[in-house]
A and B are shown apart, each in its own frame.
Chain A
Amino acid sequence: MTVAVVGASETTELGRIPHLSQMQLHADGAFNALADAGLSVSDIDGIATAGASPVDLTHYLGLEPHWIDGTSVGGCSFLIHVRHAVAAIEAGYCETVLITHGESGRSGIGRGGGGGGAASFASQFEVPYGPMGPTTLFGIGVLRYMKQYGMTHEQLASVAVAQREWAGMNPRAMYRDPITVEDVLASRVIAYPFHLLECCLVTDGGGALILTAADRAKDFPQPPVYILGTGESVESPMISQMADLTSSRNFRIAGGDAMKAAGVTHGDVDHLMVYDAFAHLPIFGLEDLGFVERGEAGPFIEEGNTRPGGRLPLNTNGGGLSYTHTGMYGMFALQESVRQVRGQAPAQVDGVNVSVCLGVGGMFSAGACIVFGKELP
C-alpha cells in the first residue's frame, strides 16, 4: 500500500496574527486543509500534532480519533508524523490522518495553550474551582455513576480489597497485608467519595520493553509474547467535558479496536490488567471493554470474580492501589501482562494464553489497549 497527501493548506493569514491564539491557528490550518480535501472533521480518524497536545486538539476540533501521535522533537516533528501516519494507515489503525501546526511565535497569543498552560481550556475552565490534581478530579464522575447504577461505597471499596489479595502474593508489591471493606471505608477521606485505600500509591520505579518481528522472536532466551491487537484514542483534556462521566470513550474505542484486531472474544481472555489510579477505573474498564454490562462491574468485583481463584483475574500484581504507582503506571501493567503470558508471574494464573492490558492517560483524557498472546493466531 502507498499513502498520499490529499489535503494541504496553511493558515488563512501569515505574519502577524494577534487576534488568534495558538490553538486557533492549529484549527484554522486544519479547517483550510479539510476544505482543500473536501472533507469534514468527522472524516478524520487519526491526529498528529506537535506544540499542542493531541488531547487538547482532539477536544477542540471535536474529533474521535483511533490513532494519535504527539511526537514532539522540534521543527521536524511534522515530517516524523508523516512517516508514522504512513505506517498507521498501512497497518489499518486509521484511514485519514490530520497533521496540524499552529504557533503564535511573534504575537505570543495563547502560547501556553496546550497541556495545562495558562491559556489552556483546563486552566480557564477547571483550575479556578480548586482542583488539586487527580485525587480531586479523576473520581469526580463517580457519584453520578453510583446514582445511575446503584453502586455502593462497599462495592467501590471491594476493588481495593481484591487487589490487595493479589498484592499479598507479589513479594515486590508495596502493600501486602490483607485489608477488608471496613478497613477501606475507615481510611482517611482524601476527596469524597474516595478514601486513602481507594487511591493509588506514589512510588519510584520504572521498566522497559523490547519488541522485534514475530519471525525473529523464537531466537531469544525468553518465551515470546505476541502482540495480537492494539487500540488507542484521546477525548478531552478536561474531565468536566467528557461526553459521559460514567464511561470512557477512550476505553471503548481502544478496547474495541484492540480486541477486534486480535480476533478475540471476551471468553478468550484469561487475564486482564486495567490501569487503576483509583478504585473506579477497573469498574469502568470491565464495562467499557464489554466484560460485563453497564452498572454490573461493582457487584462483579464484590462477588469475587476478579480475586485470586475468580473467573477473570484482574490486576494480578496488586495494581496501582497496592503494587506500585510511579505516576505513569502503564509500564507496570504491561510488565504484568507479559509475565502472566510468559508464565513467570509471582501470582501466576493457570494457562494464560491471552492477556488484555487497558491503560489510561491523564484523567480519562487518553486510553490505550494491548492484547497479548502466547501463540500467534
Chain B
Amino acid sequence: MSKEGLRPRYAPTPTPDTAHFWEGTRNHKLLLQRCTDCGTVYFPPRAFCPENGSSNIEVFEASGKAKLISYTINHRQHPSFESPYAIAIVQLEEGPMMMSNIVDCEQTPEALVLDMPLEVTFEKVSDEITVPLFRPVGEAS
C-alpha cells in the first residue's frame, strides 16, 4: 500500500506494557496474552487480564490466522495511503479483534468479502516499528 510519494505510515510509540508486542512484530511474530486463571485471550496488551484483573498471564504467539469482520473503504486523501483503501477489523483465530489493513487484495466491496480467511503479514515502518497486516488466503485472493 505504501507507494512513491506517500509518507510512511504512522509509527506508534510503544509503552512498557506493549513493548513485547512491538518486539514480536519486529521479529514477524504476532504475540497475544492469555489469562492463566480464566483462559481469556486478550488484546491490546496489558499486564493483567481485563476480564478479572488477574496478573497471572502468559504471552504466546498467535497462529496468524484471522477472518474479515468489517471495514470501511476510505475515499478521501490520506498522506500515507493511496485512496480508496480499506480500514478493516479482523478477528484472530484466538478470539481478539484488531484493526488492520488487507493487502494483496483489491480494495473493493466485491473483493473484500466478510468472513473471508486471512493470514498475518508484516510491514516494516521504521527500525523500531513493524505493523501486522493481513492478506487473503486460499481462493479468496
Chain A interface residues toward B at CB < 8 A: 19-21, 23-24, 27, 31, 34, 40-42, 59-62, 109-110, 112-113, 118-119, 121, 123-132, 135-137, 139-144, 147, 188-194, 238-241, 245
Residues of A within 8 A of B11 (CB): 128
Asked if B87 and A131 sit within 8 Å, CB to CB, the answer is yes
Chain B interface residues toward A at CB < 8 A: 9-18, 43-44, 46-53, 55, 69-76, 78, 80-81, 84-85, 87-89, 97-101, 109, 114-115, 125, 129, 131
Alpha-carbon gap, A110 to B12, bound state (A): 12
Asked if B9 and A21 sit within 8 Å, CB to CB, the answer is no
Specify which of A113, A125, A126, A192 is in contact with B73 (CB 8 Å cutoff). A192
Specify which of B15, B52, B80 is in contact with A21 (CB 8 Å cutoff). B15
Alpha-carbon gap, A41 to B52, bound state (A): 7
Asked if B131 and A128 sit within 8 Å, CB to CB, the answer is yes
Residue from B47, B53, B131 whose CB has the most chain A CB atoms within 10 Å: B53
Number of cross-chain contacts by CB at 8 Å: 146
Asked if B99 and A238 sit within 8 Å, CB to CB, the answer is yes
Asked if A189 and B75 sit within 8 Å, CB to CB, the answer is yes
Asked if B87 and A136 sit within 8 Å, CB to CB, the answer is yes
Q: A128-B9, A135-B76, A136-B87 are in contact. Are A62 and B51 (CB under 8 A)?
A: yes
Specify which of A27, A140, A144 is in contact with B114 (CB 8 Å cutoff). A144
Please provide the 10 A-B residue pairs with the shortest distance between their CB atoms, ordered closest to farther: A62-B50, A144-B70, A192-B73, A124-B12, A21-B15, A240-B99, A191-B72, A110-B15, A41-B53, A118-B13
Residues of A within 8 A of B109 (CB): 192-193
Residues of A within 8 A of B85 (CB): 130
